[in-house]
Chains A and B, each alone.
Chain A
Amino acid sequence: MSSPATPFIPLLILLLLALAVGIGILWVSGWLLPRFLKPSNPQQAKLTPYECGVPLFQGSARQRYGVKFYLVAMLFILFDVEAAFLLPWAVQFKSNLATFWVMIAFVATLLVGYVYVWGKGALEWER
Chain B
Amino acid sequence: MPSMNMVLIFSFLLFSLGVVGVLIRRNALIILMCAELMLNAANINLIAFARHSGTVAGQAFALLVMGLAAAEVAIGLAIVVALYRRKNTITVDEIHLLKG
Contact = CB atoms under 8 A, between A and B. Distances in A.
A and B touch in the complex (CB under 8 A): yes
A126 to B, nearest CB: 17
B73 interface: yes
Nearest to A77: B70
B70 A67 contact: no
Nearest to A73: B77
Interface stretch (B1-9, B17-25, B46-54, B78-86): B78-86
Q: How big is chain B's contact interface, by range?
A: 10 to 19
B95 interface: no
B30 interface: no
Interface in B60-88: 63, 66-67, 70-71, 73-74, 77-78, 80-81, 84-85
Contacts of A70: 77, 80-81
Contacts of A71: 81
A78 to B, nearest CB: 5
Nearest to A68: B81
A80 B70 contact: yes
B67 A81 contact: yes
Interface residues of A, number: 13
B63 A88 contact: yes
Q: Is the interface of A mostly helix, strand, loop or mixed?
A: helix
A105 B78 CA distance: 27
B74 A77 contact: yes
Of B63, B70, B80, B84, which is in contact with the most chain A CB atoms at under 10 Å from its CB?
B70
B84 A74 contact: no
A84 interface: yes
A81 to B, nearest CB: 4
A107 to B, nearest CB: 14
A116 interface: no
Given A67-B81, A67-B84, A67-B85, A74 B63 contact: no
Contacts of B77: 70, 73-74
A85 interface: yes
A3 to B, nearest CB: 36
Residue of A70, A71, A81, A88 ringed by the most chain B CB atoms within 10 A: A81
